[in-house]
Chain A
Amino acid sequence: MPRLTLDREIHLVQDEVLLLGSMVEQAMLKAVDALKHRDLAAARLIRNNDELINEKRYAIENRVLILFATQQPMAHDLRQLAAVLEIITELERMGDYAKGIAKTVIIIDEDETPIPIREICSMADMAVSMLHRALSAFMAEDVTLAYSIHEEDDKVDELYNYVYRKTIDAMIANPDTIDHGSNIMWVVHNIERMADRVTNICERTVFIATGELLEMSSSDDEWEEE
């Protein structure tokens, strides 16, 4: 016997999560594009539109809480809805990262100092692609895909470390660029954190599918242990 009301509501919640995810993907890609083209108008729009992402997150959260209260989900339903609460929090924070990059575009303004934009765009493309597929894995409850996406985080970290090193070197060579360099580090830091949070979404997918709450290890963790 299907539970028509609960099933329909869960599908709606999933659709809303995908919508929120695509809002975040767009925000991140547009933020990096605004940085590339020094498009202040676009940056301001992204900064202001973050409010829409936040609203969407709270709307989903309310919807899930109402389902907890009215439908008493158990087992797989319970794991799925509990995971959604975690995933929308991650998505909302990723939205904040995009907003942070948009703010940096406004701060940098017309500063002509060169930016490692190729690397930044690559990082953003990777992080957004990871997010996109992580949400597909969430929908399909595909544990194998979830693990494989998590492994890609190392590539983002590699690029981050590269840009970080280059920026530090540039700041040492020319202390006048310290302000600018800090802004760039802020941008790449945000993208790197976005990819980390994609891993958290993958962890929740594993939880939905298996009931196991685990932390996927990353090369960052190994570095921290040394």
Chain B
Amino acid sequence: MVKSIISIPPKAEIEEQTALPVEDLRTYPAKQPLVSKLQPKMETRNLSVHYGSFQALKDINLKIAKNKITALIGPSGCGKSTLLRAFNRMMELVPEARVSGIVHLDGQDIYGPKVEPVEIRRKVGMVFQKPNPFPSSVFDNVAYGPRLYGIRSKRLLVQIVEQSLRQAALWDEVKDRLKESGLELSGGQQQRLCIARTLAMEPSVILMDEPASALDPIATLKIEELMQSLKQEYTIVIVTHNMQQAARASDLTAFFMIDEKRAGKLVEFGHTQQLFISPKQKQTEDYITGRFG
């Protein structure tokens, strides 16, 4: 007997399969809330940054939404990295840099008179373009911050290191190599080690300055996937020159340009999907379609 290649599922199964959530599938994507309605984790008001007499950023008003990934894009010299550094007071480490305006973290002015810059940098961690692990073991790299904060308990440190490496999606690859030098790891692993080092400080915001620009495509995708899992607990701001990366990895995108005096200004801010399909500003359109310059 020839066996039928078509298997007919029992009626109950058919009904179950067809009982799709029709309401949810009717429109895609679901209507996005206005960016101004999103719960802000950080917020700038009329933020300007000067290097001596040169104005690098002019009157930036931007809300960084909680538990979202915000990408900052724009041509070189438009102030993206400057803004990132203003978000955790690293700008103060630059001689002649002057910040004016307001930057709030959870509603508190981070440049307030009683605020310790070190505490802000703990809460707002930073991952740099080039992986920069310390020339010490994988374990010590991650334990460095907590130790600096006075944690001496070996048991607690082991716990923090494991948890941070797990969150950075690196644990399985290094759990047997914790005593090896962090510099022995591949570029992508080194970058995730740096992310783990940041996570060990229990920040609430992670700033990433072109975190994948020195990595190969596979390592890049791993970082992007990692960002997606991290945003459940953290708020992420990423500067990237790679527009495809901004489109792939972020929820919101802010596009910056320089004005006639070469000061960086915010041109457009919106949901990433909207900005890359139907930008509102011509400058944004020209930039993301590669017709800028």
Cβ-defined contact, B289 with A76, below 8 A: yes
Cβ-defined contact, B293 with A76, below 8 A: no
Chain A interface, number of residues (Cβ within 8 angstroms): 15
| A18 on the B face (CB < 8 A) | no
Cβ-defined contact, B276 with A75, below 8 A: yes
Closest-CB distance, A59 to chain B (whole angstroms): 25
B111-119, B171-179, B180-188, B277-285 - the one binding chain A: B277-285
| B247 on the A face (CB < 8 A) | yes
Which residue of chain A lies nearest to B288 when distances are taken between CB atoms in the complex? A74
| A1 on the B face (CB < 8 A) | yes
Cβ-defined contact, A75 with B293, below 8 A: no
The one of A72, A79, A211 that contacts B244, using a Cβ cutoff of 8 Å: A72
The one of A2, A79, A211 that contacts B291, using a Cβ cutoff of 8 Å: A2
| In the bound complex, CA of A72 to CA of B284 (Å) | 16
Point out the residues of chain B lying under 8 angstroms from A6, CB to CB. 290
| In the bound complex, CA of A3 to CA of B292 (Å) | 10
Cβ-defined contact, B290 with A76, below 8 A: no
Point out the residues of chain B lying under 8 angstroms from A77, CB to CB. 289
Cβ-defined contact, B278 with A79, below 8 A: yes
Point out the residues of chain A lying under 8 angstroms from B293, CB to CB. 1
Point out the residues of chain B lying under 8 angstroms from A79, CB to CB. 277-278
| In the bound complex, CA of A94 to CA of B293 (Å) | 42
Cβ-defined contact, B291 with A73, below 8 A: no
| A78 on the B face (CB < 8 A) | yes
Point out the residues of chain A lying under 8 angstroms from B244, CB to CB. 72
Cβ-defined contact, A74 with B276, below 8 A: yes
| B243 on the A face (CB < 8 A) | yes
Interface members, chain A 1-43 (any B CB < 8 Å): 1-3, 6
Smallest CB-CB A-B distances: 5 pairs? A211-B278, A74-B288, A1-B293, A3-B290, A75-B285
Cβ-defined contact, B292 with A1, below 8 A: yes
Which residue of chain A lies nearest to B247 when distances are taken between CB atoms in the complex? A74
Closest-CB distance, A212 to chain B (whole angstroms): 8
| In the bound complex, CA of A211 to CA of B276 (Å) | 11
Cβ-defined contact, A75 with B292, below 8 A: no
Which A residues lie at the B interface, using CB under 8 A?
1-3, 6, 72-79, 210-212
| In the bound complex, CA of A210 to CA of B289 (Å) | 16
Total A-B Cβ pairs within 8 A: 37
Which residue of chain B lies nearest to A71 when distances are taken between CB atoms in the complex? B290
Which residue of chain A lies nearest to B280 when distances are taken between CB atoms in the complex? A211
Point out the residues of chain A lying under 8 angstroms from B279, CB to CB. 75
Closest-CB distance, A73 to chain B (whole angstroms): 7
Most buried by B among A2, A73, A76: A76
Cβ-defined contact, A74 with B292, below 8 A: no
Point out the residues of chain B lying under 8 angstroms from A73, CB to CB. 289
Which residue of chain A lies nearest to B279 when distances are taken between CB atoms in the complex? A75
Cβ-defined contact, A78 with B276, below 8 A: yes
Closest-CB distance, A195 to chain B (whole angstroms): 27
Interface members, chain B 252-293 (any A CB < 8 Å): 276-279, 284-285, 288-293
Known: A2-B291, A3-B291, A6-B290. A76 touches B276 (CB 8 A): no
Interface members, chain B 46-102 (any A CB < 8 Å): none
Cβ-defined contact, A1 with B290, below 8 A: yes
11 CB contacts below 8 A, A to B, read: A1-B291, A3-B291, A6-B290, A73-B289, A75-B277, A75-B284, A75-B285, A75-B289, A76-B285, A78-B276, A212-B278
Cβ-defined contact, A75 with B278, below 8 A: yes
| In the bound complex, CA of A164 to CA of B209 (Å) | 67
Point out the residues of chain A lying under 8 angstroms from B291, CB to CB. 1-3
Cβ-defined contact, A211 with B277, below 8 A: yes
Which residue of chain B lies nearest to A73 when distances are taken between CB atoms in the complex? B289
| In the bound complex, CA of A105 to CA of B284 (Å) | 54
Closest-CB distance, B257 to chain A (whole angstroms): 15
Which residue of chain A lies nearest to B274 when distances are taken between CB atoms in the complex? A211
Which residue of chain B lies nearest to A72 when distances are taken between CB atoms in the complex? B244
Cβ-defined contact, B278 with A74, below 8 A: no
Closest-CB distance, B292 to chain A (whole angstroms): 7
Closest-CB distance, A43 to chain B (whole angstroms): 38
Closest-CB distance, A103 to chain B (whole angstroms): 31
| In the bound complex, CA of A147 to CA of B247 (Å) | 32
Closest-CB distance, B226 to chain A (whole angstroms): 23
Point out the residues of chain A lying under 8 angstroms from B284, CB to CB. 75
| In the bound complex, CA of A73 to CA of B243 (Å) | 11
Which residue of chain A lies nearest to B285 when distances are taken between CB atoms in the complex? A75
| In the bound complex, CA of A66 to CA of B246 (Å) | 22
Which residue of chain B lies nearest to A82 when distances are taken between CB atoms in the complex? B277
Most buried by A among B243, B276, B291: B291
Point out the residues of chain B lying under 8 angstroms from A72, CB to CB. 244
Point out the residues of chain A lying under 8 angstroms from B277, CB to CB. 74-75, 78-79, 211
Which residue of chain A lies nearest to B278 when distances are taken between CB atoms in the complex? A211
| In the bound complex, CA of A6 to CA of B277 (Å) | 17
